[in-house]
Structure 1
Amino acid sequence: MDFELSVEQNLIRRQVRDLCEQFGDEYWREKDAEHEFAWEFYEEFADGGWCGVTIPEEYGGQGYGVQEASIIQQEIARSGAAMAGTSITSHHVFSSAPLVEYGTDEHRERYLPKIADGEVMVCTGVTEPNAGTDTSQIETFAERDGDEYVVNGQKIWTSKAQEADVIMLLTRTRPREARDRFGGLTLFFTEFDRDMDGVDVSEIPKAGRGAADSNEVWFDDFRIPAEDRIGEEGEGFTYLLSFANSERISIAANAVGIGQAALERATAYAREREVFGNAIGSYQAIQHPLADSWSKLSQDELMIRKAAWLYDNGENAGPEANAAKLRASEDAIEACERAVRVHGGMGYAKEYDVERYWREVMINVIAPISNEMVKNYISQHVLDLPRSY
């Protein structure tokens, strides 16, 4: 692989950076405080054509890979938008991917062009109160009724369900069996609105990411046309799993971007703030932690580039994608905490924003899968150690 980004990739980075500069920390600070969805940012992102980054050109997208998508996610996070900004714009990477790969031509034609131009917002319904790390425990059930499925159950942590027009929904279509825990899971991509019959949406108050809502969603005899099923009945988990590495790469890019934002704010403050007659950045107690975080985040970025290159070239990216997610999320939390410490008491003040990065970056160590499970994956699949769970 070439460590140098291509001319086109550098252009993408520059254009996204220019777009994000229109929405500085003050904008995201206000949206976070007011818990308002960042529509202005999303609409500018859509108008720039970025919603279709990984959607094939024949459906109105740009047909880029995970490498380009991760560059975009990193730049958004680095701008100060943090996880709020990347959550608003990330559905083109993961939520629409199963439809691209496994949907029928008619199904793709119906949704992908509208997703690519930003007209349609996608949310994802996978996690449940008793089915987070162990997806096999999903209980939401879709029962076939002629040309429709009738869905009953509950989802949790469904981001953007307040604004969504469609949902990628994972359900059971047959009861869980001990010998085939993940069999019987079926994936749908269908119209969704919080005001539709059979749907109840309730926002979850949370520590950060106030500009992008997370929700509980209840389904009560919610009807889905059978034609909105993706692929074969009972194969939904297999379809989702094939894109898990792209999501881990995206999360790693988000984390690195937030860590870099925190590092930039901390170093700027350290150059200006004077204590005992000198800029605090002249003291090694301030310099060394920041230098350490810079080196870690730089290494994480290289691992992201490698993982994305492997993924886009059809190679096994599992070890690298999981390692990138693990290290980037942990290193980003450390960078954000160090940024708060550099600011002293003002690090706890909202006006300096590093406390917001600190709150938002925590998501990356627990989602879409915890770092403990990432370590289990590496232990079992890379180091060939016995399964521990």
Structure 2
Amino acid sequence: MIGIVLAASAALAAPVAGLLGHRRVKQLRNAGLMRIDRPNGIDEQGFVRIGGIEQWISVRGEDLANPVLLEIHGGPGSSNAAFGPRTRAWEKHFTVVRWDQRGAGKTLARSGAEGQGELSIARLHEDAVEVTEYVRTRLGVERVVLTAHSFGSVIGLRLARQRPDLFSAYVGTDQNLLDGGRDRSAHHALLDRLRTAGKRKDLAAVERLGTDPGTWTAEQYSTYARITATSEPRTADALKRVVLASLWFSPLHGLRDFGVLGEGMKLSAQIVPETAGYDDWADGTVFDLPFFVFQGEHDPYTPPALARRFVADVQAPVKDFALIPDAGHFAAFRYPDRFLELMLAKVRPVVTDRRPVAAR
């Protein structure tokens, strides 16, 4: 997802001055929506020392008896914290843990770029394990549901393979799958969309990149991701209606956070080239935990066909793949009710030891 949020940032720039009053009304309404007053509920946000720096963690849910869901956000460098009002219904059925990784969101704002320490996939992986251990201790649970989004699913898959003792299930959405560059279908589909739309400038920019992502710089990855997302109408719409609008109306965020979002995406871009040689098939398709992928039907960036093929090869106690209709990238947040329906029908029965769905 690197760089694609920046492409739409101008969409809100023009009306900012005239909409501050409306924004404040919506922020107050969302703050009311987010209030949790159930006797067995939890609503905690704050900084926890993870990997040697202060990192922001939110723990919210209406009933501590519910399964715990830990999100690994994407980007890299993009936070899910602003999506709270959109996903409020999730907290009736799960205790939702959101974490701003180093280089992102409130963690970045806390100590600035110079205070983020090492930025690498290995470091984010170690942080994620430490966050999971913190959550297990804080909530007194043995395992949590690991839910990974977009670039976060690169880390999520590795966590699911290597530490199944920590997780009751893996759920990927906007599932990013790497195969050492063998599959070029998304690239060819992008070129076709640009030709059909007559976008000659973007077409030339993509053609200049070449077809081997392993040779791209972080800036070139960013260019490719921006053009990919903005060329697909559903994903471009989600950038404005979900990503930027959620941040604009979030009761937890101010105007400065738009700059933090851009800074985080740019700062974290440096880790993307690390994935050039990754191969999820070679790394292993055997998972010792229930395994689910719920993908946007029209996702241009993490194509559903590739995700479906990977799930078909997965060996797991329980596995399932489902499409979220009429969705591009950001599918879980564009249609949070549809995502919740899948979680309740397929995942929650498994992690609460009710009758599981049939293994496939």
Task: Work out which of the two has the higher radius of gyration on C-alpha atoms and give 1 or 2.
Answer: 1
Instruction: Give TM-score scaled by structure 2 length.
Output: 0.27
Structure number with greater CO (CA < 8 Å, separation at least 6) is 2
TM-score (norm 1): 0.26
